[in-house]
């Protein structure tokens, strides 16, 4: 089995208050790993160490090492020479509350391409369509792409956010409680689409829905008191 992520002796501190201590784990390519456990134990923090999202928080500090395999070579993501913009392009993230931008459905999905200066390229509409299809949303929105994304239902908004994360074809997708604000039907759709997405992506999912993660996750890790234990 090919490994995608290697975490070695990871520690994380807010102003010297330890949240994660000495965590080591390896995550195989094209799998779904669920991180469960009580709240306030550092699950979201762990996700943020993987795309360096915590770096703007004053007083926060990480130690240890995280390597992710890009183009067949393990990259230390905290190497000062490695650009955070390259990392974020390869490691996408979806949050607990859907966060559509105040613009049309189409422009929401296009937004990451715009940031990269690729929104005017000929293939942009096809990339938007492909991302919406991967997020199981295309059929519902193909005739209303110019409508404000905030008019979509909660479940549709979350799939829109997943499509927006997928348009850059990330190699790793981080999801922090992506279904906790959604109804059962929306949860089921997200479970099914994640099983498809993992064929081309390595997924880390924080969730407190044990039944759900047991259905879809290849590996289940429990985080409690700064320590990680493998549950399955
Ligand atoms: P979980 O995802 O398991 O609920 P979090 O990663 O959100 O846990 O939080 C872990 C711990 O870090 C908690 O004790 C929380 O209060 C603390 N924490 C989170 N964000 C900050 C912050 N910006 N500043 C200080 N402490 C924080």
Pocket probe for ligand 1: among 17, 18, 45, the residue whose CB has the most ligand atoms within 8 Å is: 45
Whole-number pLDDT of residue 1: 81
Distance CA 204, CA 94 (A): 10
Residue 166 domain boundaries? 3-230
43 lines ligand 1 (CB under 6 A): yes
Contact yes or no for 155/189 (Cβ under 8 A): yes
User: pLDDT per residue over 183-214, tens digit each?
Assistant: 999 999 999 999 999 999 999 999 988 888 99
Helix axes 154-166, 124-134, angle to 10 degrees: 130
Distance CA 95, CA 44 (A): 10
Q: Any idea what the CATH number is for the domain that residue 37 is in?
A: 3.40.50.300
Q: How many angstroms separate the alpha carbon of residue 41 from the centre of ligand 1?
A: 7
Distance CA 45, CA 37 (A): 13
Distance CA 155, CA 38 (A): 25
Give the number of domains in the chain. 1
Q: Whose CA is nearest to atom 25 of ligand 1?
A: 14
Dihedral over alpha carbons 186, 187, 192, 195 (to 10 degrees): 140
The whole-angstrom distance between residue 155's C-alpha and the CA centroid of its chain comes to 17
What are the structure tokens assigned to 127, written together?
């990339």
Q: How many angstroms separate the alpha carbon of residue 96 from the centre of ligand 1?
A: 15
225 lines ligand 1 (CB under 6 A): no
Print pLDDT tens along the chain (232 aa). 899 999 999 999 999 899 999 999 999 999 999 999 999 999 999 999 999 999 999 999 999 999 999 999 999 999 999 999 999 999 999 999 999 999 999 999 999 999 999 999 999 999 999 999 999 999 999 999 999 999 999 999 999 999 999 999 999 999 999 999 899 999 999 999 999 999 999 999 999 888 889 999 999 999 998 889 999 9
Q: Whose CA is nearest to atom 27 of ligand 1?
A: 14
72 lines ligand 1 (CB under 6 A): no
């Amino acid at each position: 089995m090919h490994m995608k992520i290697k975490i070695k002796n990871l520690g994380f501190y807010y102003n010297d208050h330890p949240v994660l201590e000495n965590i080591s784990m390896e995550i195989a390519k094209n799998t779904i790993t669920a991180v469960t456990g009580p709240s306030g134990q550092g699950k979201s923090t762990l996700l943020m160490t993987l795309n360096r999202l915590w770096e703007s928080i004053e007083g926060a500090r990480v130690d240890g090492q995280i390597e992710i395999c890009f183009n067949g070579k393990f990259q230390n993501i905290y190497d000062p020479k490695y650009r955070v913009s390259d990392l974020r392009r390869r490691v996408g993230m979806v949050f607990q509350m859907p966060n559509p931008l105040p613009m049309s459905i189409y422009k929401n999905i296009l937004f990451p391409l715009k940031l990269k200066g690729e929104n005017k390229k000929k293939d942009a509409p096809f990339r938007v369509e492909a991302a919406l299809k991967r997020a199981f949303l295309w059929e519902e929105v193909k005739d209303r792409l110019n409508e404000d994304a905030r008019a979509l239902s909660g479940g549709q908004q979350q799939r829109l956010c997943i499509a927006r994360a997928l348009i850059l074809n990330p190699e790793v997708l981080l999801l922090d409680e992506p279904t906790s604000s959604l109804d059962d039907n929306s949860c089921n759709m997200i479970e099914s689409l994640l099983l498809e997405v993992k064929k081309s992506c390595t997924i880390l999912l924080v969730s407190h829905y044990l039944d759900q993660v047991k259905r879809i996750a290849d590996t289940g890790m429990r985080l409690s008191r700064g320590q990680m234990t493998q549950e399955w």
